[in-house]
């Protein structure tokens, strides 16, 4: 394979991707690179105006994508978005499920034991991460089935393999996403087309707004005890940055991984490889 052929593998011109949670740091970073590689990118996020057709989304860094507001837990808003996207671009080629998160009320602490976590808080985290991945796969995955090809990329976590302390609901959902990714990959390939692939990435510890002050001190910027423990168990000696996910994500979304489906790839700086001794 020459360099021209290799470059063509990462040319997404004319292909339409939907990125749920695309206004977030991780989803937004990938959306930006897909745009740079020629893709039509539609951001689907509840922080936008509610569903009413496609609009323009301008990121703080200057890049622009089409946008449609909605909720990954609301089937009607997903259907509305899918119809608007299909009308403008035809059936989507790719879906990136970047929506997700945790809640303080679903996190154990010195003041909140596992036995006292509220049912509502746990259900909210379970729904957002797991159902919020499955529903978009139902709605947009149907368009992939119609065209007979396409890719889905889910966001799992290293929590799926080595659950962290304090976040039981979040860890359980990520294990569910990893399992569901394998199930859906098999289902789509065997029932619709071998050209439909479903994979996931499992980020390690990435510093974001949700966990920043769990891992670093708000006043000094120094590592907290939890942050220090993480770095001590990460051979590369640092937290991940959004751009660290791009190479793996683009590979899984591109024809460069044409014979890869049903897997979850760790991107964790070696955290999962280190035994601690």
Q: Which residues are catalytic?
A: 170
Give Cα 158 to chain centroid, integer Å. Answer: 13
Give 110's DSSP letter. Answer: T
Interior angle at CA 154, CA 68 and CA 180, nearest 5: 120
Which tokens hold the place of 216?
Answer: 């670093």
**Alpha-carbon gap, residue 125 to 102, rounded angstroms:** 6
**Alpha-carbon gap, residue 107 to 59, rounded angstroms:** 31
Interior angle at CA 156, CA 240 and CA 50, nearest 5: 100
Tokens 């991107």 locate to 267
Neighbouring CB atoms inside 10 A of 74's CB total: 16
């Amino acid at each position: 394979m020459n360099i021209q052929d290799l470059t063509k593998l990462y040319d997404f011109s004319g292909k339409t991707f939907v990125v749920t949670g695309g206004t977030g740091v991780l989803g937004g970073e990938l959306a930006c690179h897909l745009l740079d590689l020629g893709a039509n990118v539609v951001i689907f996020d509840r922080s936008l105006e509610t569903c009413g057709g496609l609009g323009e989304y301008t990121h703080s860094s200057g890049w622009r994508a089409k946008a449609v507001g909605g909720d990954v837990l609301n089937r009607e808003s997903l259907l509305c978005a899918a119809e608007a996207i299909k009308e403008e671009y035809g059936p989507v080629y790719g879906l990136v499920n970047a929506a997700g998160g945790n809640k303080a009320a679903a996190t154990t602490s010195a003041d909140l034991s596992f036995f006292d976590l509220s049912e509502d808080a746990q259900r909210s985290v379970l729904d957002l991460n797991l159902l919020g991945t499955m529903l978009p796969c139902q709605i947009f995955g149907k368009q992939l089935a119609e065209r007979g090809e396409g890719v889905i990329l889910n966001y799992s976590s290293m929590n799926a393999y080595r659950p962290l302390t304090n976040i039981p609901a979040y860890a359980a959902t990520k294990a569910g996403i990893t399992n569901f990714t394998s199930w859906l990959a098999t289902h789509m390939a065997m029932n619709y087309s071998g050209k439909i692939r479903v994979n996931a990435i499992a980020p390690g510890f990435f510093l974001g707004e949700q966990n920043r002050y769990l891992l670093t001190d708000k006043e000094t910027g120094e590592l907290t005890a939890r942050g220090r423990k993480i770095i001590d168990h990460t051979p590369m000696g640092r937290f991940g940055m959004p751009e660290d996910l791009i190479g793996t994500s683009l590979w899984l979304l591109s024809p460069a991984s044409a014979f890869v489906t049903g897997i979850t790839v760790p991107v964790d700086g070696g955290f999962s490889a280190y035994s601690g001794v």
